[in-house]
Amino acid sequence: MASNAAVRIEHDSLGDLPVPVDAYYGVQTLRAMHNFPISGRGMPAVFIRSHALLKKCCAEVNMELGLLDKRLGDTICKAVQEILEGKLADQFPVDVYQTGSGTSTNMNLNEVIASRANEMLGGRRGDKKPVHPNDHVNMGQSSNDTIPSSIHIACIFEILRILEPALQVLQSSLAEKSRQLWDVIKTGRTHLQDATPIRLGQEFLGYRGQIERSTKRLESALADLSELAIGGTAVGTGINAHPQFAAKVCEKLSAALGYKVRETTNHFQAQSSVDGLVMTSGVLKTIAVSLTKIANDIRWMSCGPRAGFGEIEIPAVQPGSSIMPGKVNPVIAESLLMVCQRVIGNDATITAAGSSGNFELNVAMPVAAAATLESIALLGHGIKNFAIQCVDGIKATSRGPELVSAGLMLATALAPVVGYEAAATIAKEAAASGKTIAEIAAQQTKLSSEELKKLLDPVKMVEPSDTIMPVSG
């Protein structure tokens, strides 16, 4: 227990508590610290900054509406600005696993902002006058509308700052790799079995298409996140908030974010659910699933190099084994796969959190916020790293083209000419004998060597056929 000289006594509706004398936070924050000694993990820094930005916009609007004294409001804004600049970061200790509405974190911000504002006005840390954490910093607000609003703001900020740019980097890398590898023809695979030929560049074109669509899906999530709960206060009715308050706050937030946000058209759903986060997490999970496919394909194509497919070489970024000299592992792809696994797991958390709405309030907002923001950050950093350290350095080997001529599925090109059954017999005989499709077809059909060469040209198999020869017989 700290000595009396190191604490100040603060009072709330539950009684008195000794608060560290040098703390900007107050008694309600301290109660939360006592109540929730769970993970030692506070709310994400980007959420704290987003909540502070919301507080600043609210103070500015309340001044404009004539509800907040200008001297007090300006000082609140100055205190918030310090938080936005990264100062006072150690004053937000409330655990993620706290009250489900995030009230403890909202009051933590209110107390710190009020305390710092009063200090700026010549008072001491912890003073409640002239700036009061509830009456002034929280004016026209409730935890129940500010916390979900700040979650949306933080997600928008991180998507625009980290995730969208990373997707653009990967899309560009895949597009360039598709162009570089376009002339390389290899064996396609379905069910992990040999299929008809495909351009290596076409495979990378498919990967690029997945990322293009990931970006479009993310735009849909952003549109959903742009709808804010601010203005609903306690239960969505807007009690104690000015009728123009929410719209004006959203205008200021839009200017600060560089992205248009708006007051929800239905406050009751905005506070009783986190459906927007559930939808956003579903998009993030879909992106993770797409990336899993891409990363695993690259791992498989590079496996070997002698006992596997060995169709591509990936950059050697570190020794692959502590015991096997010269081994190179697909570690960048593995790193991305673990990111994707975490995001998929976070989606389960967010889904469960989304189902925790009871009547007028969802009571799992902090964990939904932390999980969503973690997913956005992990994907953003993981995607960019994968593009730069893996995709950009991929090279084709001679292995893919070498296997094409021995491929049994070349018989597919014969089917329109000799019929499916005859082509299947040729493929079966080639597999049993170890000979090529061309060799068996020369024995079992009346096709000339020129006709076979034309039919079995892999280049003609990687695009739709412009002419189909009639089936003989």
| Residues catalogued as catalytic | 191, 321
Query: How far apart are the C-alpha atoms of 215 and 218, rounded to whole Å?
Result: 5
Amino acid, single-letter form, for residue 454 = K
Q: List Cα–Cα distances, 37 to 9, 105, 266, 308, in angstroms.
A: 22, 14, 36, 51
User: How wide is the angle at C-alpha 261 spanned by C-alphas 257 and 263, nearest 5°?
Assistant: 140
Query: How far apart are the C-alpha atoms of 68 and 71, rounded to whole Å?
Result: 9
Burial class (CB in 10 A: 0-12, 13-18, 19+), 249: buried
Copy the structure tokens of residue 104.
């403890």
DSSP 8-state assignment for residue 20: E
Copy the structure tokens of residue 436.
């090529």
| Closest by CA position to 36, among listed 89, 106, 93 | 93
Q: List Cα–Cα distances, 291 to 147, 297, 315, 339, 392, in angstroms.
A: 31, 10, 18, 10, 16
Query: How far apart are the C-alpha atoms of 25 and 114, rounded to whole Å?
Result: 9
Q: Is 438 helix (H, G, I), strand (E, B) or coil?
A: helix
Q: Is 303 helix (H, G, I), strand (E, B) or coil?
A: coil
Residue identified by tokens 């937030």 is 253
Copy the structure tokens of residue 159.
């998507």
Copy the structure tokens of residue 126.
């912890």
CB 344 within 8 A of CB 293: no
Query: How far apart are the C-alpha atoms of 25 and 74, rounded to whole Å?
Result: 20
Query: How far apart are the C-alpha atoms of 312 and 402, rounded to whole Å?
Result: 13
